[in-house]
Amino acid sequence: MATPPLTPRMLTPTTLSPLGSPRSQQKKSTATVMPEITLEQPSSKTTKSPGSKSTKLLRRVRSAFRSLPIMSPMCKLPMGGARLHENHVHGGTRVTGTLFGYRKTRVNLAVQENPRSLPILLLELAIPTGKLLQDLGVGLVRIALECEKKPSEKTKIVDEPIWALYCNGKKSGYGVKREATEEDLVVMQMLHAVSMGAGVLPVTSGGGGGGGGGGEGDLTYMRAHFERVIGSRDSETYYMMNPDGNSGPELSIFFVRV
């Protein structure tokens, strides 16, 4: 008996989500298992209209940013006594910071007033998530985000849409501010009971998901307390604090207009 000829299957087109994981029609079947978003509005955040000029500008900048290559800098410093020996920065405000993303895609940084609130700041940096987390395990990391100072500047520095990115003094591409997507909010919701720690988040397998099957690696995260220090209207710094009182910040992020 002859075997009938094989008919090629039509492949479902996929697109890349902001976190870097391919999406397909399978999302329709997995949408029902998404956790309910119960994150609270931050006290200092005002709701922006989806059609506002600032939101449209962020979308255009983010679209251009995603066409740039991912940089892989050596994000580490010598360990020769450069650490601070305090676990609190005087004059700082404590916030929650989360680094997350798929290992081979750009790392995201979400800043929240507390783990149960919506992000007040969300950045996408041109550094692979796995590379940054690996270097944080080795030594200190200092990230500088610079943008141009303009006459009569009224925009808050963390509201600038794009910055030049330097990791331990080496140019490493760009950083861009963006609005939180549904996937970002799901990550924050899954971590709402976590004040600090690191690990791998469960992701849906099959169909090219981000949990290894899609070739993007695991969705990893690291959460810690940050001390936010405002130096001036043109400078702001976030220090990631260790729970161990004998060591200082492993990660420092500097925003500066020059």
Query: Residues of the chain with pLDDT > 90: what percent?
Result: 49
Locate 8 and state its tokens: 């090629």
Q: Give how far the C-alpha of residue 124 lies from the chain's centroid of Cα atoms, to the nearest Å.
A: 5
pLDDT given for residue 22 in this prediction = 43
Per DSSP (E only), the strands in 92-218 are 93-102, 106-112, 121-128, 141-147, 162-167, 170-177, 197-201
Closest CA to 172 of 92, 107, 99: 107
Q: Average of pLDDT values for 214-224?
A: 77
Q: Is the dihedral of CA 142, 223, 225, 229 positive or negative?
A: positive
| Coil, strand or helix at 129 | helix
Tell me what pLDDT residue 11 has.
Answer: 38
Q: Please give the mean pLDDT across all residues of the chain.
A: 75
State the Cα torsion 89-99-67-253 to the nearest 10°: 10
Of the two residues 38 and 1, the one the predictor is more confident about is 38
In this model, does residue 201 exceed pLDDT 80? yes
Looking at the predicted structure, is the pLDDT value of residue 220 above 50? yes
Joined together, the tokens standing for residue 59 give: 């979308």
**Least confident window among 123-127, 210-214, 227-231:** 210-214
**Whether the Cβ atoms of residue 92 and residue 229 lie closer than 8 Å to each other:** yes
Q: Is the pLDDT of residue 72 over 70?
A: no
The per-residue pLDDT for 48 is 46
61 three-class SS: helix
- For 131-153, write each residue's pLDDT tens digit: 998 888 888 899 999 999 988 77
Average pLDDT over residues 231-240: 94
- Point out the least confidently predicted range of 188-197, 223-232, 240-249: 240-249
pLDDT value of position 137: 84
Identity at 172, one-letter amino acid code: S
CB-based burial label for 247 (10 Å; 0-12, 13-18, 19+):
middle
Q: Measuring CA to CA, which residue among 47, 38, 36, 257 is closest to residue 163?
A: 257
Q: Is the pLDDT of residue 160 over 60?
A: yes
Taking the C-alpha atoms of 200, 70, 223 and 137 in order, what is their torsion angle to the nearest 10 degrees? Answer: 80
Q: Does residue 23 or residue 198 have the better pLDDT?
A: 198
Q: How confident is the model at residue 63 (pLDDT cuts 50, 70, 90)?
A: low
Looking at mean pLDDT, say which of 40-44, 120-124, 211-215 comes out highest. 120-124
Greater confidence, 164 or 56? 164
Kind plus residue range of the DSSP H or E element containing 22? strand 22-23
- pTM, rounded to two decimals: 0.70
Q: What is the pLDDT of residue 245?
A: 57
Min mean pLDDT across 8-12, 176-180, 218-222, 245-249 is at: 8-12
The predicted pLDDT at position 145 comes to 97
